[in-house]
Amino acid sequence: MARRRTLLRAAVLGAPAAALLARSAAAGAALASGDHVPALVIGSGYGGAVTALRLTQSGIATAVVEMGMAWNTAGSDGKVFCNVLNPDQRSYWLRTSTDQPIGYFLGISANKSIGRYTGVLDSEKFAGIRVYQGRGVGGGSLVNGGMAVVPRRDYFAQILPSVDLASMYDTYFPRANTGLGVNAIDPAWFETAECYRFARVGRDQAKASGYPTTFLNNVYDFAYMKQEQANTVPRSALASEVIYGNNHGKRSLDKTYLAAAAATGRLSITAQHVVTAVVPSSAGGYSVTMNQIDTAGAVVATKTVRADKVFFAAGSVGTSKLLVAMRALGKLPNLPDAVGQGWGNNGNVMVARANHIWNTTGALESGMPAMGIDNWADSAGPVFAEIAPFPAGTELWISLYLAITKNPNRAAFSFDSSTGGVGLNWQTAWNQPAIDAAKRVFDTINKKQVTVYRSDLFGVNKVWGDDFTYHPLGGCILNQATDNYGRLPGYPGLYVMDGSLIPGSTGVNPFVTITALAERNIEQILTIDSF
């Protein structure tokens, strides 16, 4: 193994970052049973990518294990990803029909049959909520809308009081923004671009009702988008690409943090492997068991490797499920009771309004949102609502919003010994505080504009998209289930690095918070812990 890593390092020096990442994820770099690695990272989303970069930069050979695919090979249409207008097997994780967030149109199901495949977006169903998550090398960065928003300082202080605010805002948020490649939209271009007509309409209507709006930074390259609008490059955000991946323009983690980690020559990525168990090893460190799967999800091999340190970065749901199962099965019996607690949906609720015929939102809508309505200061119902695109490729007169609210309800994960699975006890009705807060804003806008809600998009006669979330957070809260830097108590060398550390809410879109917190934690871990 050591020899193979040395060879890998020698082979990759000098190659471009994308090629390095491809090689890090190539079959030859995959873990084999019996391997012993200094550091193993479960999951390649934000927490995992930050961890991989900072470990490899510190000279530590790091193995990332990711259940999804590497997403570096074009399909028969010449594209790696499909768009939202023509979803095919690449869209969803192991489903035989799509499960679109906006699942209806005119009250009729808008979903269609697809081949069962390890697609890029998972709609994971629990009793009272569907949780959308990215699957692949890059995690949620592959599917998300790229909005890169730093949370309000006073709200961050409320949700994570044990974290030093000055260092977060002076050091780690700026570091995260740099690492992620965050950029700002050109406001003058925004005013004229056809693809943001929908956002200008949303802004003007909000302003007319007294609600302030704000531009949202993004990791999508706005300079590239300008060229898309000018028709000088292949279109991605302007070709209805979002939620099932972007073929161009987006600085997803495979292009940023993971590419930089690969450039050190110390990274291996083992894709299409699902970690199923982590147990202390009698030889030292931890035994990590994983199932290698094919593109239909069938297990083709089971492998066990040994790692001195294991970083859980499988996302809020993935990490919580694994740890809750390990505790229940007696494999990590001393994990604290707080593991599995404190899960929230970031107060997500979606809603759409029907505009008048003269108030067109445009047939061309950028898949990347660029503006939000900021009513967070309203103590009776704080709301931060992104003005979301509906990139149908035709005029629909629809204004769509994803509202982030301060829903206080929290759910817990628990192991079901009869199925061997882990459930989440969130109930759909627990989203009522989110609906109430969003209603204050959108009822007011409707009244002022003399417009109505669309009730045909989230079900038959259903106004609120209240039964799904894009923003799972919590389950392994910092300074409760872990110490103040993500270390799991009682198990030296086990760490949590992802969105499960954040107690159910950030008040804004969460990936910058997850990235910055991971930057903070890994710096401390590398300084204090011995590797």
- C-alpha 26/C-alpha 49 separation (Å) is 17
Q: Does 51 bind ligand FAE (CB under 6 A)?
A: no
Q: Which residue has the tokens 């323009």?
A: 249
Identify residues 261-280 at the interface with ligand FAE (CB under 6 A).
Answer: 274-275
427-to-128, 345, 423, 439, 466 alpha-carbon distances in Å: 4, 11, 12, 20, 10
Quickly count: other Cβ atoms within 10 Å of residue 521's Cβ. 28
Give whichever of 464 and 511 is closer to ligand FAE, judged by the CB atom: 511
Q: Does 182 bind ligand FAE (CB under 6 A)?
A: no
Q: Pick from 269, 514, 517, 525 the residue near ligand FAE by CB under 6 A.
A: 514
Minimum Å distance from CB 101 to ligand FAE? 7
Quickly count: other Cβ atoms within 10 Å of residue 374's Cβ. 18
**Stretches 36-44, 81-89, 298-306, 433-441: which one binds ligand FAE (CB under 6 A)?**
36-44
Chain CA centroid to CA 88, Å: 21
The answer to whether the CB of 264 falls within 8 A of the CB of 58 is no
Identify residues 305-364 at the interface with ligand FAE (CB under 6 A).
Answer: 313-316, 318, 322
**Stretches 66-74, 158-166, 332-340, 416-424: which one binds ligand FAE (CB under 6 A)?**
66-74
Quickly count: other Cβ atoms within 10 Å of residue 38's Cβ. 17
Give whichever of 359 and 524 is closer to ligand FAE, judged by the CB atom: 524
Angle made by CA atoms 396, 401, 403, in degrees to the nearest 5: 165
Q: Does 146 bind ligand FAE (CB under 6 A)?
A: yes
Give whichever of 397 and 464 is closer to ligand FAE, judged by the CB atom: 464
The helix or strand, by DSSP H or E, that contains position 436, with its residue range, turns out to be: helix 432-449
Give whichever of 145 and 503 is closer to ligand FAE, judged by the CB atom: 145
Is 36 catalytic? The answer is no
- C-alpha 473/C-alpha 82 separation (Å) is 27
Quickly count: other Cβ atoms within 10 Å of residue 115's Cβ. 13
Give whichever of 402 and 463 is closer to ligand FAE, judged by the CB atom: 402
58-to-207, 254, 364, 525 alpha-carbon distances in Å: 49, 20, 46, 12
Give whichever of 278 and 441 is closer to ligand FAE, judged by the CB atom: 278
**Stretches 10-18, 127-135, 328-336, 479-487: which one binds ligand FAE (CB under 6 A)?**
127-135
Is 386 catalytic? The answer is yes
The answer to whether the CB of 201 falls within 8 A of the CB of 361 is yes
Q: Does 291 bind ligand FAE (CB under 6 A)?
A: no
SS3 284: coil
Minimum Å distance from CB 499 to ligand FAE? 3
Q: Does 20 bind ligand FAE (CB under 6 A)?
A: no
Strand partners, 452: 354
- Residue of 243, 250, 307 whose CA lies nearest to 277: 307
Q: Does 256 bind ligand FAE (CB under 6 A)?
A: no
Q: Does 44 bind ligand FAE (CB under 6 A)?
A: yes
**Stretches 140-148, 170-178, 300-308, 475-483: which one binds ligand FAE (CB under 6 A)?**
140-148
Minimum Å distance from CB 369 to ligand FAE? 7
Q: Does 381 bind ligand FAE (CB under 6 A)?
A: no
Q: Pick from 135, 255, 303, 410 the residue near ligand FAE by CB under 6 A.
A: 135
Cβ contacts of 517 within 8 Å, gap of 6 or more: 160, 163, 168, 172, 478, 501, 502
Minimum Å distance from CB 324 to ligand FAE? 12
Task: Please identify which of the residues 66, 228, 386, 519 carries the catalytic annotation.
Answer: 386
Task: Please identify which of the residues 228, 248, 471, 519 carries the catalytic annotation.
Answer: 471
Q: 149: burial class by Cβ within 10 Å (0-12, 13-18, 19+)? A: buried
Minimum Å distance from CB 470 to ligand FAE? 4
| Catalytic residue IDs | 386, 471
Q: Point out which residues bind ligand FAE (CB under 6 A).
A: 42-47, 65-68, 132-135, 139-140, 143-147, 243, 274-275, 313-316, 318, 322, 470-471, 498-499, 509-511, 514
